[in-house]
Structure 1
Amino acid sequence: MRRRRGLTEEERELWSRVAASAQAMHPARPEMPAALTPPPREPVVAPKSLAKAFRVGEKARPRTGHDLAPPIGEGLAALPVVMDRKAHRNMVRGKLEPEAKLDLHGMTLAQAHPELIHFVLTAQDRGHRLILVITGKGKPGRDDDPVPQRMGVLRHQVPHWLRLPPLGAVVMQVTEAHLKHGGAGAYYIYLRRLR
């Protein structure tokens, strides 16, 4: 680190002569008379807030899950009635007894799909018109997943399978079952006549 060198006596004398001959670029402003000075401001007090104190999320309801699609029963009920209206009304009211039943409880999608195809085609071969497929309502999945999971995978998948080949040509009408036959956890399937 370099040490600063001080000014010599000759340099100080020269500097004082230069400083005495210099003029200020901006002369000092004249002071305002006392009458024109603004009065001192009072401190600003913030008004009291009318809003109640709150905690974020205090009124939020517990999350119960999402289902972005309308309920399956609503979708099936909105479809046009293809079968005899009187038979459809009796079927929906639970007055018709299914001729065969299939319970898919506890099966995976891979197990249930071939089982459903076999059951429906066999029922048609035997001349049955009304059959019942029980899917169950399903268990709620994990709720911590960022993508909403549907409750009851089989319940949502079975109506889709019934519209696809080879079952689409065999099935005439699908509706949610009456409460006495399983309600939202089961489906009535009305089959076409075998020709």
Structure 2
Amino acid sequence: MSRRRRHLSKEERTLWETVARTAVPLRPETAPAPEETAPLPLPPAEPAGPAESGLSGAAAFSLPKRPKKHVPPPLQPIDRRTHSRVSRGTVGIDSRIDLHGLTQAEAHDRLHGFLRLSQQRGDRLVLVITGKGRSESEDVFGFNERGVLRRLVPRWLAEPAMRGVVVGFDEAHRAHGGGGALYVRIRKPRKGPGEAEA
């Protein structure tokens, strides 16, 4: 089945001829000889400005470069040596927060505030107590919503907004609450341009 050949409309032909006449060939020696046609009116000259630099139209105007997006550092789990030293009491826990009995919104806000304050104080390791949640025998209404904070706190610690504060975290030793608590390593605060290193 052959396709019917489409012919250019008058406007399309005029546009094409204007473009062909104003185009500069990359290799002038191989350019075909121009056809003899009636001269077409050229569009009005653009005002002087960036176009005079040798660039035409849209190429003369460039969008401002976007600033590079800050990529938060990846979380690093607490190494086994540090974990065992903390559980034996050789390395101390600088501070702790207990999130028992708080709503999710309250716990989220308190945790973020606590971690930022811990960083400002220069704490290196803190304990976050989430609790293990209700057991099924305590769940009188049958909702069985056990361990909500226990599930959510690790997500909150991994949020990009907290990467400048949290180096990493791991489940605490049984002596410090086991599955209902987390050891959290705190990142050293960044020094401002005018501040001296401590």
TM-score under structure 1 normalisation? Answer: 0.51
Q: List per-residue Cα deviations over 1:136-168 (Å, max 9, x = no partner).
A: 1101456856xxx55210011000000003212
Matches within 5 A, 1:34-53: none
Aligned to 2:164: 169
2:94 to 87, 95, 99: 99
1:138 to 103, 116, 133: 133
CA 1:95/1:151 → structure 2, altered by over 3 Å: closer, same or farther? farther
Give the distance between the partners of 1:104 and 1:123, measured in 2 at CA: 16
Equivalent position amino acid for 2:85 in 1: N
Aligned to 2:110: 115
Aligned to 1:192: 187
Unaligned runs of 5+ in 2: 1-74, 191-198
Give the distance between the partners of 1:150 and 1:85, measured in 2 at CA: 32
CA 1:119/1:186 → structure 2, altered by over 3 Å: closer, same or farther? same
SS in 1 for 2:105: helix
CA RMSD, Structure 1 to Structure 2 (Å): 2.6
Q: List per-residue Cα deviations over 1:36-55 (Å, max 9, x = no partner).
A: xxxxxxxxxxxxxxxxxxxx
Are positions 1:156 and 2:151 aligned together? yes
Identity %: 43
Unaligned runs of 5+ in 1: 1-79
Q: Shift in Å at residue 95 of structure 1?
A: 3.8
Equivalent position amino acid for 2:174 in 1: L
Aligned to 1:179: 174
| Native 8 Å contact 2:167 2:185 kept in 1 | yes
Give the distance between the partners of 1:152 and 1:109, measured in 2 at CA: 11
Greater Rg by CA: 1
Q: Higher helix proportion, which one? A: 2
